[in-house]
């Protein structure tokens, strides 16, 4: 299977602390990989390296076999790597539809022009509505983004990433801060993205039920190092992983089959 994202000895240090320590992985195209590990294991820092928020101390990142280690976040987004954050990142004073339409226009290479009436961008609006339908948000298309519930903002952010035609979605705790009622909806959205089968998803998430249901593979970080990488069942049965999770260094539930 073709590799879309690869890291080679990826590392970053802050002062005397090594947050990510020689992590080497290969992620196949159209694959769903989850990243787990105790708090402070380096999961978000690893994401920041993949997306370009941080530059590694050493090591390489490859995308479709091409090195992108020194590329900026914007350059990586243009290539097809999109990242969501634990805190939502939308335009609060625009409508839901306008948020996604701007993402569609950006992908088409057309800047917003205040002189042109929005109906000049009708084709982009139609595409935006399709993305909103995918994330179950079309009924809110005329709502101001700041008025959305937290879970709805997360769905909007995912729609904006999809509208950019991202090949790789980096989802950093998409259910963070959600109520119990909101979680199943975002789970359904992520399931639909996986079922479409034309995107690679790399997910950080603490909800083990969600990870085990969605993941093709799971990688475990511990103290910045890659502790294990395998199928969900292999990770569940890995005694080293169990020891790390049962060592009292985290606030997550122990791994077990559901």
pTM for the model: 0.86
Which of 242, 89, 206, 70 has the alpha carbon at shortest distance from 155?
A: 89
Is there a domain that residue 57 lies in?
yes
Is there a domain that residue 63 lies in?
yes
Q: Which residues pair with 60 in a beta bridge?
A: 8
Rounded to whole angstroms, the Cα distance separating 116 from 213 reads: 46
pLDDT at 165: 87
Is there a domain that residue 105 lies in?
no
pLDDT at 225: 95
- For the chain (length 258 residues), average pLDDT per consecutive 10? 96 94 97 93 95 96 97 92 75 93 78 52 86 94 94 91 92 86 89 92 90 94 95 91 64 47
Range of the domain at 32: 1-73+202-258
Token pair in block for residue 90: 């939308």
Q: Residues 224, 18: contact at Cβ < 8 Å? A: yes
CATH number at residue 231: 3.40.50.300
Is there a domain that residue 197 lies in?
no
Domain count, the chain: 1
Phi and psi at 124, nearest 5°, equal -70, -35
pLDDT at 117: 52
Rounded to whole angstroms, the Cα distance separating 23 from 138 reads: 40
pLDDT at 258: 43
């Amino acid at each position: 299977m073709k590799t879309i994202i690869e890291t080679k000895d990826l590392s970053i240090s802050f002062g005397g602390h090594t947050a990510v320590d020689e992590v080497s992985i290969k992620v196949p195209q159209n694959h769903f990989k989850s990243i787990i590990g105790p708090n402070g294991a380096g999961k978000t820092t690893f994401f920041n390296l993949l997306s370009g928020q941080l530059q590694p101390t050493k090591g390489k990142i490859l995308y479709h076999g091409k090195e992108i280690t020194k590329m900026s976040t914007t350059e990586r987004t243009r290539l097809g790597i999109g990242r969501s954050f634990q805190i939502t990142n939308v335009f609060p004073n625009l409508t839901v539809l306008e948020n996604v339409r701007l993402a569609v226009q950006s992908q088409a290479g057309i800047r917003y022009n205040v002189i042109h009436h929005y109906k000049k961008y009708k084709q982009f609006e139609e595409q935006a509505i399709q993305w909103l339908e995918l994330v179950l948000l079309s009924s809110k298309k005329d709502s101001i983004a700041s008025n959305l519930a937290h879970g709805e903002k997360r769905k909007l952010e995912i729609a904006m990433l999809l509208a950019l035609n991202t090949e790789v979605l980096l989802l950093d705790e998409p259910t963070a801060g959600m109520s119990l009622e909101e979680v199943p909806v975002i789970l359904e959205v992520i399931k639909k993205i996986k079922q479409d089968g034309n995107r690679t998803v790399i997910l950080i998430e603490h909800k083990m039920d969600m990870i085990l249901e969605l993941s093709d593979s799971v990688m475990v970080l511990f103290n910045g190092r890659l502790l294990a990488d395998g199928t969900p069942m292999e990770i569940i049965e890995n005694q080293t992983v169990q020891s790390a999770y049962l060592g009292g260094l985290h606030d997550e539930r122990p791994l077990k089959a559901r």
